[in-house]
Amino acid sequence: MSIREDANPGFYDADSTIYDQQRWVSPAGVFTNETQQSIVAKLTGEWTGEGLEIGPGTARFTIPLLRNGMKMTVCDISTGMLDVARKNIEGAGFGKNVRAYREGSIYELPFDDNHFDHAICLNVFNHLEHPDQAIAEMARVIKPGSTLLFNYANLMSWYLPAAMRINARGTAVGQEVYSAWERPGVMARHARQAGLKCVRRTGHVHVPRELEKFKLLPVVRILDKMSRGGPLSALAAVHFCLYRKQ
């Protein structure tokens, strides 16, 4: 059964209060979360000033950026996720460092041109039907010379058979939410057309939730390490891409 992207807000509104518990508590989930946090910390370590996060989820990436001194604006299409993000941010003691919580679409961001010093959008592109429009819109709202960090699910990865099945169905495995895996060359072209230049691409291999029962974590740890950089990074299941606006 195929699901359209416009069903995503309802899915995440319903999922918001159990999101973290479903994804980051198991051994595989802990590994994925810790690995992603490490990658993001390295790619954003020099960030200062005003930042925008699109699709903050439960704020698991927002809070470290706030802790490092960033002033953040967060924008999500799901009001449920925004509520949880606000609660977690305030609970961590960083509420005063958030400029605004805004409901909005990545395709029509409610911000002026050339407004932010940096922007981040993680674990969102695998739920978008029009990644080219999303990249162009994110590029619009950051200043020239600023950086943009996003990731996407890599179709041409170790998980190619599963990714092809997901693309054929338009649905994530085991979840009633729109999902798509992208070709790296196509994503790079979208970025160039938006006036962005690649600064760094980092690979990551995670354990999909539906495969946790097969105890693949030891193998995935090896694949993840092999995929972090160098030629094998092209086979990573997730690409983290840091771009600079020209």
- Residue 2: what pLDDT? 57
Catalogue the E-assigned strands of the chain. 50-54, 71-76, 98-103, 116-121, 142-153, 196-204, 238-245
CA dist 38 and 145 (Å) reads 24
User: Is residue 120 within 8 Å of 55, Cβ to Cβ?
Assistant: no
Confidence category of residue 10, pLDDT binned at 50, 70, 90: confident
Q: What percent of the chain has pLDDT over 90?
A: 82
Specify the DSSP class assigned to residue 179: -
pLDDT of 1 strictly over 50: no
pLDDT digits (tens, 9 = 90+) for 137-192: 999 999 999 999 999 999 999 999 999 999 999 988 777 789 999 999 999 999 99
Of 210, 23, 240, the residue nearest 125 (C-alpha): 240
Nearest to 95 by CA among 63, 136, 130: 63
Binned at pLDDT 50, 70 and 90, residue 3 comes out as low
